[in-house]
Structure 1
Amino acid sequence: MVGNADKRQHILDVATRLAGTKGLRALSVRSVAAASGVGATTLRAYFPSQSLLYQAVAERVVSFVLSDELVQDRSLAPADRLYASLRQFLPTAGEQDSALAMWFDMLTLALGSDANAEVLAMVRSGHDRSALIVARWFTLLAADGCALRDAPEVLAARFMALVDGLHLGLLLDGDPEALGWAERTLRWYAEQCLTAPGGNAVPA
């Protein structure tokens, strides 16, 4: 017999896959229930509203994509650990077009003329979850003795603004070298966030 936790996980698996293959416009209680093989009433027992379903999908995607493994690799220099972690926010060359199209579609649905409140909640949830993870990376570096130029939460907020700008630039710039430029910008940011030993740093 499938437990409640397993059924909820199954629904989230299906919803995430549906959003990735058919786009956010295809994500609804009815479509997810049908694809999951459960009734709409059963699905609502786990996700009482479409907004909560969207938020759960956003948080699941963020947690799945962003790993702490790189920032914890002490064989790397601190700036390299931070850059490798932040690089997870950029698409690879092979997935660039589809990943950026989905990002733009999500913002359009959340903020466009026919804005969808559920998608807006999803965007906010994913953004907040991402910022918390980035702040955690800075906190982990500080705990290892790395000097930070500002508080982890402040550095994370600045990064979130930076990466949104990089995504927009990649979407608009057809230059094949645009991704390399974005990567160099992230590396510069990683180096700027860390101070030299004895510098003016925020204590861990």
Structure 2
Amino acid sequence: MDTRERILKAAAEMIAEDVTAKLSVRAVAARAGVSTGSLRFHFPTQRALQDSLLARIYGHLLPGDPIQDRSLPPRERLLNCLRQVLALTGTNEEARAAWGATYRAFIEPEPTEPVRAAYLGLEREAERRVEHWLAVLVEEGALPPGDHTRNVRFLLTVLNGLSFERAMPTRESVLVAETQTLNAAVDQVFSTGPAPPAGPALP
């Protein structure tokens, strides 16, 4: 195993043991059995190390559609689905490029009908994907039946926010904050269930 792989393996073990681990240069270097200078050579900043670790963790998720992996509990499967979509955003530089392309395609130009239709098509495809996840969980009895539209919108809003945060020069503990947010989002879906039936229209 080369030095870079040893560093990533050590950092992954630290996160597996404690999701709030700070991944300091000194601690990760000691765990990997390398010098801090060697770690800095491969990962010049703590953010670079965390971005690479984030990509590695998400890259090792189950291939295909995680919601179908019934060897895992429903909550873990939904969490893996969110991680898989977020992984498509990439890490810091990739996320900046993706959001830049989104801005140039849908925000910068005038909101003509073709622009609006193109964006709504992408939005609808994302909604279908999340609807599919929740429908599978409803069919299994893990979620109650009903209108889960609000949970679909909620999960998409969380994913959009996290992908945008990846593109911004924010705090260095992106991995920790992102993991906590995804777990909170999944907990919210399982605790709230579908929206209640609409009441009668007001006169």
TM-score, normalised relative to structure 1: 0.54
Q: What runs of 5+ residues in structure 1 fail to find an aligned partner?
A: 1-66
Relative to 1, partners in 2 of residues 1:93 and 1:183: Cα closer, same or farther, differing over 3 Å? farther
User: 1:109 is matched with which residue: 105, 111, 114?
Assistant: 105
2:143 aligned with 1:147? yes
The one-letter amino acid paired with 1:144 is E
The residue that corresponds to 2:163 in the other structure is 167
Task: Report SS of the residue matched to 2:172.
Answer: coil
TM-score, normalised relative to structure 2: 0.54
Please provide the CA RMSD for this pair: 3.0
2:170 aligned with 1:184? no
Moved more, 127-136 or 140-149: 140-149
Structure 1 residue 71 displacement after superposition: 0.7
The residue that corresponds to 1:122 in the other structure is 118
Deviations 1:72-103, CA, capped at 9 Å, x for gaps: 11111111010000112213796442134223
The one-letter amino acid paired with 1:77 is P
Q: What runs of 5+ residues in structure 2 fail to find an aligned partner?
A: 1-62, 196-203
- Indicate the percent of aligned positions where both proteins have the same amino acid: 21
Whole-angstrom distance in 2 between the partners of 1:154 and 1:94: 27
Q: Aligned pair count? A: 133
When Rg is computed on C-alpha atoms for both structures, the one with the higher figure is: 2
The residue that corresponds to 2:95 in the other structure is 99
Residue correspondence of structure 1 range 35-114 to structure 2 within 5 A: 69-91=65-87, 95-112=91-108
Q: Judge conservation of contact 2:96–2:168 (CA < 8 Å) in 1.
A: no
Q: Could you say which structure has the greater relative contact order, defined with CA pairs below 8 angstroms and 6 or more residues apart?
A: 2
Q: Judge conservation of contact 1:131–1:157 (CA < 8 Å) in 2.
A: yes
Task: Report SS of the residue matched to 2:118.
Answer: helix
Structure 1 residue 124 displacement after superposition: 2.0
